[in-house]
Structure 1
């Protein structure tokens, strides 16, 4: 039986959504059924055998939709394999080193016995909305710091743990 995996994410400007879509693609390529959905749109975890939760980082906190998702579904998450990812550093600090989860994410990881957490670089595009985004862009802090290869490697590791069949 093919395992079904949900990748639920909280994203304001699309960067975290892009990472979630990459994770879903790799899981599908490795023989799993996977879908990436905005965390706020998820209404039921029963169809899923495993869950990946991702949240954009803002001022040291996960995106509100990711935090709410984890609170709302904590009992369902506690009985499934779960992985977390964060996205957000607008520089290369996430490349080549393991950044620890922010305190709120660390606390949720402990409560839910999360298998792993990883932090990926983020992206802040010129068209990003919001006062903080405009301020960061004015300060020259925009750009794309996501690492596609690192995301694919991490997703393939999840697929392996879930019994997927590597596509490569």
Structure 2
């Protein structure tokens, strides 16, 4: 029997690209760990999730809600046949709070985590700069509250934990 690389989908919903950059880092770590990893905007994932052994889903937070594409993807994932491990991340706090402490998921993301039986949810700081789309976003930047609050060391460490968890799941399956 030929052993194939486990396939992982990293999907994300983003407005200004910051969450996508986090997803790319997560996918890079998983690829380096030996997983066949696909990273795509959640709104562009058309194939069946049955093609994947695991899913990482991220969403940008705006006014306490996950990006629409991430929410829609989660609904579709809930209806997908089969079970696969799922990890969730949010990006959005525009301060150092995500690096200082664990931030619980907002209520809508908590419901998604429960429905998908997610193994973990983590919040990372976001980024908002002069290129941000939307009137409110530009106002926040002009008021001096923008910036890049992402902690790529923490993002990498989280992705490494996912890789470790996937290796453990794989080893158990091979023993059975």
TM-score, normalised relative to structure 2: 0.90
**TM-score normalised according to structure 1 size:** 0.94
Q: Is residue 103 of structure 1 aligned with residue 107 of structure 2?
A: yes
Q: Give the Å deviation of 1:63.
A: 0.4
Unmatched runs of 5 consecutive residues or more in structure 2? 169-176
1:123 and 2:121 correspond:
no
1:26 and 2:29 are equivalent in the alignment: yes
Moved over 3 A (4+): none
CA distance in 2 between partners of 1:77 and 1:39 (Å): 18
Whole-angstrom CA distance in 2 between matches of 1:12 and 1:74 = 23
- Superposed displacement of residue 76, structure 1: 2.1
User: Could you tell which deviates more after superposition, 77-86 or 38-47?
Assistant: 77-86
Distance 1:4 1:102 in 2: 29
CA gap of 1:48–1:125, structure 2 versus 1, over 3 A, is same
Q: Which has the higher helix share?
A: 2
Give the whole-Å Cα distance in 2 for the aligned partners of 1:21 and 1:146.
Answer: 13
Query: Quick one: higher RCO (CA 8 Å, sep 6+), 1 or 2?
Result: 1
Distance 1:51 1:79 in 2: 10
- 8 Å CA contact 1:78, 1:113 repeated in 2: no
Tell me the alpha carbon deviations over residues 104-152 of structure 1, each in whole angstroms, 9 at most, x when there is no partner: 0101111121000000000012111111111111211111000000000
- CA separation in 2, counterparts of 1:120 and 1:22? 13
Within 2, Cα distance between the matches of 1:72 and 1:139?
A: 38
Are the equivalent residues in 1 in contact too, given 2:85–2:119 (CA < 8 A)? yes
Q: CA RMSD in A?
A: 1.3
Query: How many pairs were matched up?
Result: 164
- Report if aligned partners of 2:50, 2:81 keep a CA contact under 8 Å in 1: no
Question: Does structure 2 conserve the Cα–Cα contact (< 8 Å) formed by 1:20 and 1:54?
Answer: yes
Whether 1:86 and 2:100 are equivalent positions in the alignment is: no
**CA shift at 1:79, angstroms?**
1.2
134, 154, 161: which is aligned to 1:150?
Answer: 154
Measured in 2, the distance between the counterparts of 1:68 and 1:135 equals 28
